[in-house]
Amino acid sequence: MKICRTIEELTSTIEEIKQENKTIGLVPTMGALHEGHKSLFRKAREENDVFISSVFVNPIQFNNKEDFEKYPRDEQKDLNILEECGCDIAFVPTADEIYKQEPKEFHFGALEQVMEGKQRPGHFSGVANIVSRLFLWTKADRGYFGEKDYQQIAIIKEMIRQENINIEIVSCPIYRDEDGLATSSRNQRLSPEARKIAPKIHQILEKSYLQRNSLSLSQIKRFVEDEFEKIKDFELEYFLIVDDTTLQPIHTKNPGHGVVGCVAVWLDGVRLIDIQRYY
């Protein structure tokens, strides 16, 4: 595995690869790699000649300084995992390297006025800055993202449309621990007691899914909110039922579109998100 720390090292390596007409799959990460990342790595490894991953805790996508500072970092462990997963190139830059050129402001209209975009001002502009740069430098044919960050995928698709970047966005199913908790780097910040409660997020969503034929979307919303209310350790930030493409809250399903429930909840000082597809 080749480790590149500068844009120049990365782009000159890419030039050589592209001369051989090889396909490139990119998995951008912020490190603290877990089983969820590994499922993306497997897919990128299988579907491309060359598999690249980046490890960069992107400061400009954190609107909460404490969250940025507490974000788990262990470069050597991450590099070992990447190597085990058959990664060809690991891009591990510093913030000075990435932002030699000042970040720009992205705007995504209604797509970013709900959920994560609403709760975390500037977050998606920060994500779009790093992801667009990675796409351009790596000249990737495919970019792999986990569906837990459902809104992020919609934003990235809109970003490549705005920037005219030719890349296929591959959306990958959530990887869950055996007890149903969606894997996330933030899970390691939960106390052992909170870790036992956390799978209830998925359990509540699944329970609501099973009632989708007898309840309206508004009733499902109320049901989920009530279930979270019953468990005192949870503090629900939002639960919204949205159109799977526009991400706008809906009360009835739009013909031809899917319906997704998106949740953000605080537990033990850690903010967790998850999703449930209803249709």
Residue positions annotated with a catalytic role: 37
Task: Tell which residue, 157, 168, 199, 146, has the closest CA to residue 38.
Answer: 146
Residue type, position 204, single letter? I
Binding site for ligand PAF (CB under 6 A): 28-30, 58, 61, 127, 130-131, 149, 152
State which residue, 143 or 204, has the beta carbon closest to ligand PAF: 143
Minimum Å gap between C-beta 256 and ligand PAF is: 28
- Are residues 158 and 108 in contact, defined by beta-carbon separation less than 8 angstroms? yes
State which residue, 92 or 131, has the beta carbon closest to ligand PAF: 131
Minimum Å gap between C-beta 274 and ligand PAF is: 14
State which residue, 220 or 264, has the beta carbon closest to ligand PAF: 264
Minimum Å gap between C-beta 186 and ligand PAF is: 11
How far CA 213 is from CA of 99, 104, 135, 198, 210, in Å, comes to 50, 45, 42, 26, 8
Q: Measured between alpha carbons, how far is 211 from 60 in angstroms, rounded to an integer?
A: 40
- Are residues 151 and 125 in contact, defined by beta-carbon separation less than 8 angstroms? no
- Are residues 241 and 260 in contact, defined by beta-carbon separation less than 8 angstroms? yes
Q: What is the rounded radius of gyration, in angstroms, for the C-alpha atoms of the chain?
A: 19
Task: For residue 157, count CB atoms less than 10 angstroms from its CB and return exposed for 0-12, middle for 13-18, buried for 19 or more.
Answer: middle
Minimum Å gap between C-beta 143 and ligand PAF is: 9
State which residue, 28 or 261, has the beta carbon closest to ligand PAF: 28
